[in-house]
Amino acid sequence: MAKAGLLSFLCPLLAVAFLVHCHASEKKSAAKEILRRHIPTTRCWRASWEEMEGVVSVIPNRILKLHTTRSWDFVGFSKGTLGAPLEGNVVIGLLDTGIWPESESFNDEGMSAPPAKWKGKCVGANFTCNNKIIGARWYNSENFFGTTDLPSPRDSEGHGTHTSSTAAGREVQGASYFGLAEGVARGGVPNARIAMYKVCWSFGLCSSADILAAFDDAIADGVDIISVSLGYDLPIPYMEDPIAIGSFHAMKKGILTSNSAGNSGPYPYSVSNYAPWTLTVAANTIDRKFVAQVVLGNGQVLIGLSINNFDLNGTPYPLIWGGDAANFSAGASPAIAGYCFPRYLNSYKVERKIVLCDAMVTGSQILKANGVGVIMTDSFDSLDSASSFPLPATVISNEDRVKVLNYIRTTENPIATILVAQGWKDVMAASVVSFSSRGPNPITPDILKPDITAPGADILAAWSPLAHPSIDRKDTRRVNFNIISGTSMSCPHASAAAAYVKAGHPNWSPAAIKSALMTTGSHCLHGRAPPGRFFAGIDPRLDAGGHHGKF
């Protein structure tokens, strides 16, 4: 067969080819590095490779990253408003780290068989779907197999289980994180179906080739809403962004994609996932925050934020600034050691003490040095979301750090204790969280992004029992529910709201659903959104909310 004829024959099979390390001078060897040929839906890119008729684009395979119960009550989204029959017709597809099918949040008690339109399936060993999780696939073209990764849709990171249950988890009584935030855990549309497309692996690594393949499958399977809590750290042109490309083809098939805005705030032009046909979701606080107080030996009480479940029983321990425990043999100066960086602390000086650090750290270095606890400093003074650590810990403001350091400097034997975290009412909610990425749109400034905010701070949801519960990957504790923050958490809230509208209005287009959510968003910090505003999308009695309100 002549070359031209052969190319004409192959062109339909080479609609999209992802290459690794392919440069203009390497075109002849590039074909050897094709990871995946995408046929069904992604055929509309610009021509660029070897003048092959029918080939629209070839782009490098890049790596993307993941973006981390009370929340539904806070936004006024009461349970059971729509009802099981309508919700059960909607399928939410999530591109994430997988899902833990045995979690109580995904039980299918009382649920009917999947909708007749559903064409998906479960792929992978040791994984069983039910009438709740009706589809599950996994993708790993880059062989991202860490020590805890499983070659199946099963989740070993926790992230995908958390986002799935936030969007559509069943009601679970008595859910909590070591007793914190105890109550009923539920998703926004607890009777909707879930389809998981596992594209992310250890350390939140996600291949663009896998993401595009997952979009293809989700579209063909028949999902109604796609939820994607991941993205790039730096701006990527639309034509090279697999989420922009995949969501465009989903939009053409009547499927809205909800994206996380990114966690690179509060800096301008930091927003991720800015394609105009997607719903880009920023993160806001809810009316609950987790406070872990510090009590100094002089009786002074300081307010810190932490999801601290370690109980020191009020016992005071010696208090030391990290800079006074510098490991000089490792070349650490007091100024550097004050940040409590790994290897820069003298274990002998830290042992059995609470350490004051000038930055946010994982806490693992203090634990390794046999420290009792750690008081960290939020150098940005944001203090609008809390984290969990592997030892007694809390995070204070710069102003309070100065108070602690002055106490240490003026006291012969300084002591302190860290109290167990408590849930306090946050009267300032809802406000955009400091970490939430901001606009303007870095590629097309005339297109406003993000589109909307949703709860993304201190969200309790289901977790994988194989995953570490704190920001320290060496944390050996295990939980069934976890509290984490990020636009990864706000995205499934918006996905659930979109699914809710879709259930009530199955013929609405992605643009109509997006418009309904944006134009009924609330600008009022202390407002509540009645369920009807979700169901109908637009209530003529209400003013248009605009693109910066919480839904």
Q: What residues are annotated to the active site?
A: 96, 159, 488
Q: Which two tokens stand for residue 307?
A: 């999801």
Query: Over 35-86, what HEC string results?
Result: CCECCCCCCCCCCCCCCCCCCCEEEECCEEEECCCHHHHHCCCCCCCCCHHH
Residue 158 region by backbone torsions, left for phi larger than 0, else alpha for psi between -120 and 50, else beta: left
Pairing of strands 57-60, 16-19: parallel
Tokens linked to 272: 């991720």
Q: Is 297:415 a contact under the CB 8 Å cutoff?
A: yes
CA dihedral (485, 488, 492, 495) in degrees, to 10, reads 140
Determine the length of the chain: 551
Tokens 């000086």 correspond to 349
Nearest to 206 by CA among 68, 98, 19, 65: 65
116 burial via Cβ count (<10 Å: 0-12, 13-18, 19+):
exposed
Q: What burial class does residue 143 get, using C-beta atoms within 10 Å of its C-beta: 0-12 exposed, 13-18 middle, 19+ buried?
A: exposed
Q: For the chain, first and last CA: distance in Å?
A: 59
What DSSP character marks residue 465? T
Cβ partners under 8 Å of residue 174, min gap 6: 182, 183, 184
Taking 3-state DSSP, the helix, strand and coil percentages for the chain, each rounded to the nearest 5, stand at 25, 20, 50
What single-letter DSSP state applies at residue 522? B
DSSP 215-260: HHHHHHHT-SEEEE-EE-SS---GGG-HHHHHHHHHHHTT-EEEEE
- Edge-to-edge strand list for the sheet holding 354-356: 301-302, 294-296, 415-418, 317-321, 354-356, 373-377, 393-396
For tokens 């510098």, the residue is 326
SS3 407: helix
Q: How far apart are CA 293 and CA 457, in angstroms?
A: 19
Residue-wise DSSP of 248-300: HHHHHTT-EEEEE--S-TTSTT------TTSEEEEEE--SEEEE--EEETTS-
Distance CA 246, CA 393 (A): 42
